[in-house]
Structure 1
Amino acid sequence: MRGLGAAFARPFRRAWRATFGTRRSLSIVVTLTIVAFAVGFASNYWLPQRLGYTLLFGLCLAALWTWSSGQGVRVRMSRSRDRVQAGESIIERFEVINNSMIPKLWLEVAEESDLPGHTAQFVTSLSRSSHRNWRVQTTCHRRGVYNLGPITVRSSDPFDIFSRELRFGHRRGLVVYPRALELPRYSAPPANLPGEGRFRRRTHYVTPNASGIRDYEAGDSVNRIHWKSSLRTGSLKVKTFELDPASHLWVVLDLSSQDHVGSGDDATIETAVTVAASVVRLFINQSRSVGLMMFGERLDVIEPDRGSQHFGRILESLAVAQPIGSVPVASILYQQSRRWGRHTTVIVVTASTDPRWQGAIRTLTQRGVKVAVALLDLESWGGRAGAAGTAAELRALGVQVNVVRQGEYIPAVMVGQIPGGPLMSGPAASADPAGGTGNGAATSQPAAQMALEDVAEVSRPEAIDGSESVDEQAAVQ
């Protein structure tokens, strides 16, 4: 019986919260109406009775006003793009339309959003059969995935006794990529290039290496048709291509929670992600095959590839990277070392000073893997010391080390090895060649060569190992 009574009372509690529980003006007017009627009928005096009727009529009029103010209202919204880089802006255009013959004297329009710094709220009034337009520009300062929408339109009577809310649209995602700065003086140690023959593999890109021909398929570009073979065989033939023998490059980002400090834009994770994105951008622009590996909630591995679409996939993973991992970078390097051989360069971005991962680096270098390290100095962020000793030990192993400290200009710190000279890194190389200094994560740089907003998700074709036999119908001339 108790459960049945609670179920019966639940709708009444909800109705109370939706009306009297949140509408103070409605509670006051209803209370005054009841008191006026009670006093009037008890005393048989006309004044309280007329006051009660007046208040009751006012309640009905306010309810009708609120209902009519939401009739015929429509909202349209368009956004310039759904993917931007940190520091860039998005532009939203709103159009509020009144399709009814009743003017709208008070409409509050607001867009729900969790994007920092985004405010899309305004109040308007509309005459009959009219519309109003707004333009909202928001600068995206912090990487991540955010939701914008839906749009809420609220209307009420002049005394705010009743209110009505209308929702338009749905939630739409916005991806803010991390900053990817230009690194004009950075270079990673080159790995041993594989020889010709068995290390070649087919690719869907056009390269100088035409390996054979195949039958034409719908969607093939006309410039890939091999006309001599087509005339000789009587059917259209398309050239196939192979990649140049080149080493793969891996970026390993440490997301262990014990190796990061700070919060907000000044956190070490923001600098680490900016460094990783900048390195990826550099080698993608050089048409190198770049992969990404990091361990947050789970192991996230993006196999090496090249091109703007692959760059977009890496940036999307870096946009949501957070230092919540429990696996130290040493364990990742030991467990995943089977992926890397003498034809691989590994760039580790970490703030760890644990001697165990230095042993993992030693193991990789003994196997012929070329290693470079971008080491964040936690002491400059108010954390533990030891980065200088770790950098010295790694350099003794022949590893290229770039020490990044808080507030330093990242492109000036990320400097490669000068032939015949020492490694330039740290304070000695932290001066901006243009004379400027500052936090690289907050420095405006020229836009990337990739059009990030045009990046689309496509399935990555499987690489065909060069050791497999290729059924060539004719030699490419």
Structure 2
Amino acid sequence: MTTLTRGGTAPARPRSVLSRELRWARRLDPVVRHPIAVLGTATVAAVLCGLVLHPRGLALAGGLATVMGLGVVWPWVSLRGLRGAVSFERRRGREGQPVAARLEFRNRAPWGAWGLAIRFGGGAADDPSQLALAHVGGWRRGVVEWDFVPDRRGEHPVGGARLTTGFPFGLRESARLLAVGRPVLIWPRTFPVGPIPEEAGGDASEGASFRDRPGDAGDLLGVRPYRRGDPMRRVHWSQTARHGELIVCERQAAAAPRIQVVLDLDPASHVGRGPDGSLEWAIRVAASLLDDWIGQGADAELVVGDRPIAAKGGTTAARRAAVLDAMARLDAEGYGPLADLLDGPACRRFGRGLRVVVCTDRARLGGRGRPGGTVERFAVLAASAFEEGAVAGSPIDPAWPIRPWVVIDDPTRVARQVWLQRKEIGDVR
């Protein structure tokens, strides 16, 4: 007898039961399809056939059991005598660029090991950055070098390094931890972004960056009437003779443009996972702005959370390294909405200069007012374009309240979109 609900319709019990059974089937599928499960089932079937039909079935069952035992035990045995350490040639690298890696190993056992592989963290078996070794003989030691190609930022190897083998049948994979002698810090991937916008202004500096504003160094900007205190060596004598009064040359000023890059790491604003998600691409865009503009002489800082990461003092290479090291180690957990970040002390203290905010069109802006004397620009990633299975060219949210400076809607063309759209514009509100 079927019980009706108050509205007169029967509840969809068969459908819910079927969906629950399908979920269980999906969970059991990897177990059922595992080679050991298949061989175990075949062994049980062979034993039954040997007991009921013919004794030869028992011989087949014994052979299958021997294969399973050898496939499970031998990978563990072959790694017992192996020891090793992994190190990298350089302390730093970049995403997608090879870094020379080195493995020093020693096998103290008299038997050899076959089908070895070095894996970092939870690396997949087909990861091209991993190293495969066909054979290591007994009582041997040696050194192997290869190119490690990291696909994400951070300190590598993430999760440690393991020496693994599934020889001879691949029924079970055994692993042994390797020592890490010298890890490598991988910077985010960067690309050129063009010259520093004039809106960045500049404060007097002894650096090598010249700005089109009056000063005492750099190229000639123009001429002007003499003012008391101007050095006589700057007098333009032909223009003085023409106008009948002293005319001096005006040159560029040595100034350091001021840049503040604000990076939104709010988990609610980002979509996608791994190196292709919007979070990692936002980090790469921010890193590219800082890397390129610090190289052009800017006084730049990165703001994430409640703390600024400044690139001041030292050589250009040292200032770049300070910012990119911090970005390589960024952990995207525990960050609040973008509105709190822009209203925080790091942004309030920033005065004259250019602020570039890197975020997605799902950033939580709240009811913000105008940024005061700071020129503020937004580089906005269209979140829908970075979802798994998304189509490139997805537009940004029509409800986005601010006119973007740069729109990024294609993960395969991020560098080109930033280069082409980065332009000098007036009030973007």
Interval containing the TM-score (normalised by the shorter chain): 0.5 to 0.7
Would the alpha carbon gap of residues 424 and 405 (structure 1) be closer, same or farther in structure 2, given more than 3 Å must change? farther
Would the alpha carbon gap of residues 286 and 149 (structure 1) be closer, same or farther in structure 2, given more than 3 Å must change? same
Residue 403 in 1 paired to residue 414 in 2? no
**Residue 346 of structure 1 aligns with which residue?**
355
Residue 122 in 1 paired to residue 122 in 2? no
Is the CA contact (8 Å cut-off) linking 2:282 and 2:381 kept in structure 1?
no
**Residue 402 of structure 2 aligns with which residue?**
390
Task: Quote how far apart the aligned CAs of 1:356 are.
Answer: 4.7
User: Which letter maps to 1:390?
Assistant: I
Q: Which runs of 5+ in 1 are unaligned?
A: 1-21, 33-50, 197-207, 209-243, 392-400, 426-477
2:261 to 237, 251, 274: 251
List per-residue Cα deviations over 1:145-189 (Å, max 9, x = no partner): 441633335588x79999976443259754332122222244251
**Residue 151 of structure 1 aligns with which residue?**
162
**Residue 99 of structure 2 aligns with which residue?**
90
Residue 330 in 1 paired to residue 359 in 2? no
Would the alpha carbon gap of residues 135 and 79 (structure 1) be closer, same or farther in structure 2, given more than 3 Å must change? same
Rounded to whole Å, the distance in 1 between the matches of 2:337 and 2:104 is 51
1:287 to 261, 275, 297: 297
* SS of residue paired to 2:405: strand
What percent of counterpart residues are identical? 19
**Residue 301 of structure 1 aligns with which residue?**
308
Task: Quote how far apart the aligned CAs of 1:255 are.
Answer: 2.2
**Residue 448 of structure 1 aligns with which residue?**
none
Would the alpha carbon gap of residues 339 and 93 (structure 1) be closer, same or farther in structure 2, given more than 3 Å must change? same
Matches within 5 A, 1:53-72: 69=78, 72=81
Would the alpha carbon gap of residues 382 and 127 (structure 1) be closer, same or farther in structure 2, given more than 3 Å must change? same
**Residue 326 of structure 2 aligns with which residue?**
317
Would the alpha carbon gap of residues 377 and 171 (structure 1) be closer, same or farther in structure 2, given more than 3 Å must change? same
Q: Which runs of 5+ in 2 are unaligned?
A: 1-35, 47-58, 207-216, 218-253, 385-392
TM-score (norm 2): 0.55
2:190 to 167, 180, 184: 180
Would the alpha carbon gap of residues 357 and 320 (structure 1) be closer, same or farther in structure 2, given more than 3 Å must change? farther
User: Which letter maps to 2:86?
Assistant: M
2:179 to 169, 175, 180: 169
Task: Quote how far apart the aligned CAs of 1:245 are.
Answer: 7.3
TM-score (norm 1): 0.50
Residue 414 in 1 paired to residue 422 in 2? yes
CA RMSD of aligned residues (A): 5.2
* SS of residue paired to 2:369: helix
Provide the aligned length of Structure 1 versus Structure 2: 320
Would the alpha carbon gap of residues 323 and 87 (structure 1) be closer, same or farther in structure 2, given more than 3 Å must change? same
Matches within 5 A, 1:33-72: 69=78, 72=81
Task: Quote how far apart the aligned CAs of 1:247 are.
Answer: 5.9
* SS of residue paired to 2:261: strand
Would the alpha carbon gap of residues 170 and 278 (structure 1) be closer, same or farther in structure 2, given more than 3 Å must change? closer
Higher relative contact order (CA 8 A, sep 6+): 1
Would the alpha carbon gap of residues 193 and 381 (structure 1) be closer, same or farther in structure 2, given more than 3 Å must change? same
* SS of residue paired to 1:277: helix
Rounded to whole Å, the distance in 2 between the matches of 1:424 and 1:266 is 32
Rounded to whole Å, the distance in 2 between the matches of 1:130 and 1:335 is 60
**Residue 375 of structure 1 aligns with which residue?**
379
